[in-house]
Amino acid sequence: AAMKAAGITAESKAPSGGLIEKIGGKPSGIFVDNAQELFARSIPEPRPVEDDLALMKAQEILLSQGVTTIADMGTTMPHWQSFRRAGDKQQLKIRIISYAADTANMVAIGGPGPSPWLYDDRLKLAGVKLVLDGALGSRGALLKEDYSDMPGEKGLALMSSSQLKNKMSRAAMDGFQVAVHAIGDEANAELLSAIDELRYTFKGDQRWRIEHAQILDPVDLPMIAKAGAIASVQPVHQTSDRLMAEARLGPDRLAGAYAWNSIRESGARLAFGSDVPVESSNPFPGLAAAITREDANGQPFGGWLPEQRLTREQAWQAYTIGGAYAAFAEDRIGSLTKGKRADFLIIEEDIMLIEPGAIRDIVVEQTWLGGRPVFVRKVEQ
């Protein structure tokens, strides 16, 4: 019914950077990456009141999980307007660092450049989010060699190398920070090459962000630190993706898969996040995954690719000061330091002492932002 309403037939062609999966010559209902545009335009936009209610609920959930600051990757004008309405009403309870969805939204929202901090450091337009390839699960991630479980398929490039460099240049020219989604090893290699080229034009502290950096050719690893880039990754992906990744990549490419410790040892900076709504916004399962490389059932015992495990301190820093640094916000947040904004949470357990797997089950008792409580768990009678 959805395909019929969108006017999609067996003759429908996928746009560049997209794929329509078919069965017997007819669309199966699976639309990969840019092919989703074919039916997305038929879905009505949420009304402003719906956006506002969703924002209130999202804040409620995030604060209950101890999250005080988010990077909103892919902010559109309606999203930004909803953030502004909440700020005007003094209803912004978390800090939102926005990265506009591509350069068109960047210009529409930011105009000549990034915004300053607004609403007592609650909101800022910092940069732009670009998307270079698709996801590994849909075989949209751009690989150097064929998928192990689909010979002849290397994934999808959602823009050319020249388009990528043009968009990155357009943003950097006006002072916007650039974050680029890159999952496959070919996509990461192309992005690192673009950064290496552009850093001679745009000197200074750019802090180019690589969003996901899931599959890297080990020969490309040193380029992250060399280019001054930041690997913005989501540790919980390696627990949910493990079996699928092994099938997609085969054993020979796993050395550069979800290689958080190798990235760290190369001298590059790590920033950890959630990738919500693809994964839960709760940071504690991700923290446990980074430390143990095991899923919620303790599998595989000893961790998947255990050489990529991080220490508790390393993982905690990537979630706190690492995330703040990745957004040029380390002068305000990311640590409990004199002069910063006093954002913190209260839990009963000591994450440095409890069994690592138990970290994923931690319950937040209180969340404080700017030295004031914004969430207090109700005591059950």
| Full DSSP string of 202-224 | S-S----EEEE--B--GGGHHHH
The C-alpha atoms of residue 276 and residue 377 are separated, in whole angstroms, by: 22
Task: Give 301-326 pLDDT, tens digit per residue.
Answer: 999 999 999 999 999 999 999 999 99
The C-alpha atoms of residue 359 and residue 213 are separated, in whole angstroms, by: 24
**Does residue 6 surpass a pLDDT of 80?**
no
34 secondary structure, DSSP code:
G
| Residue that wins the pLDDT comparison between 2 and 254 | 254
Measuring CA to CA, which residue among 235, 281, 228, 227 is closest to residue 257?
235
The C-alpha atoms of residue 94 and residue 79 are separated, in whole angstroms, by: 15
Task: Give 185-203 pLDDT, tens digit per residue.
Answer: 999 999 999 999 999 999 9
Please state the pTM of the whole predicted model: 0.92
- Of the listed ranges 29-38, 218-227, 241-250, 346-355, the least confidently predicted one is 29-38
328 secondary structure, DSSP code:
T
Task: Give 238-247 pLDDT, tens digit per residue.
Answer: 999 999 999 9
The C-alpha atoms of residue 276 and residue 281 are separated, in whole angstroms, by: 5
CB 134 within 8 A of CB 158: yes
Question: Residue type at 63?
Answer: L
Q: Using CB atoms within 10 A of its CB, is residue 99 exposed (0-12), middle (13-18) or buried (19+)?
A: buried
Cα angle 187, 193, 196; round to 5: 140
Question: Residue type at 169?
Answer: S
Average pLDDT over residues 285-295: 98
Q: What are the residues whose beta carbons fall under 8 Å from the beta carbon of 104, sequence distance 6 or more?
A: none
CB 125 within 8 A of CB 100: yes
Output the pLDDT for position 381.
61
pLDDT band at 17 (very low <50, low <70, confident <90, very high): low
Report the 3 state secondary structure along 263-309: HHHCCCEEEECCCCCCCCCCHHHHHHHHHHCCCCCCCCCCCCCHHHC
Task: Give 131-172 pLDDT, tens digit per residue.
Answer: 999 999 999 999 999 999 999 999 999 999 999 999 999 999
